Amino acid sequence: MRLREISADRYAREILPQTAPLWAGGRSFDDYAAQTLEIARGAYGRRSYRTIGLFEQRRCVATFKHYDRTMRHNGKRLRAIGLGAVFTPPEQRGRGYASVMVAMALDRAHRDRYDLAYLFSDIRPQFYAAIGFRTLPSRRFSVRADLLPSARLDLTTPGDDWKDVRRLYDRMERRAVLGFARSAPVWEWIRTCARQGAAYRSGYETNLIARHRGRAAAYILGVRDPEKDVYVVREFGFDRSGERIIGPLLRAAAGDLRRLSGWLPPSGAREILPKPAVGARKHSIFMMAPLSREGEAALDAALAERAEVAWSSDHV
């Protein structure tokens, strides 16, 4: 058995018809395939995203998506491999192919000098724990919008130029115990995924920037879902001048909706939420495996502080 890269076109033609019932959501198959190919053909996809299969001779018996990301810990840059859409065709299940595939992917990543591997598990986290992954805090929050302070704000949308959002994100990420760094291609990928709406089945994307004395001081990315009476937070960030207006910005994003919810933010951001209701996520449980000494030290530090590491925008 060996791992082989599968071209984006072949993956769309042969694998996506099998995975659509699991991950297409409310999208038609044509939209699901077109959006997957759009990711593969974008700047991030061409450089840092691949579709991989486990082949037994000429037969593909399991597949996954490979994402290259950079993480930071104590000022050091760490190479990370993300594993997404781990899939075994029904007729091949129960034979250990997925375990072999993931283990081989980790071995190869270790040889290629990656520091960490990560994934978001929707089912059976114990499957990945047996291969060496460790579970990090994966929590959700919910807060009533009327508990947030209100204020008159100078609001804009990111538009086509997201440099203000990128600057504010970088400031927040540097304060994290362990966090995902974002290059320009990563931002393009995140924006493409948000525009496609693959992560949510109802509502519409609503992103805002609040300015202080003409300068962007805080931002929020999320989805307004009137059907569920909620604004779903994907992420937010702020600088020193924005610390006093991030609360009103969250309330402004909710507007007339009753509550805000989403993944619990990393430390440095979650402290601004007033007494949120917090609970464990049932899906997208964040797990990591160390592949180097530096990666193990970073993971140990995150686990020791029970730190949230990822925003939902980083989901793969």
Residues 270-283 have pLDDT tens digits of: 888 988 999 999 99
For 87-136, write each residue's pLDDT tens digit.
999 999 999 999 999 999 999 999 999 999 999 998 888 999 999 999 99
Residues near 128 by Cβ (< 8 Å), separated by ≥ 6?
102, 119, 121, 287, 289
Is the model's pTM score more than 0.75?
yes
Task: Look at strands 259-263 and 230-238 and give their pairing.
Answer: parallel
Give pLDDT tens digits along the chain (316 positions). Answer: 999 999 999 999 999 999 999 999 889 999 999 999 999 999 999 999 999 999 999 999 999 999 999 999 999 999 999 999 999 999 999 999 999 999 999 999 999 999 999 999 988 889 999 999 999 999 999 999 999 999 999 999 998 889 999 999 999 999 899 999 999 999 999 999 988 987 777 899 999 999 999 999 999 999 999 999 999 999 999 999 999 999 999 999 999 999 999 999 998 898 889 889 999 999 999 999 999 999 999 999 999 999 999 999 999 9
80: β partners: 69, 116
Q: Token pair of 44, please?
A: 């991030």
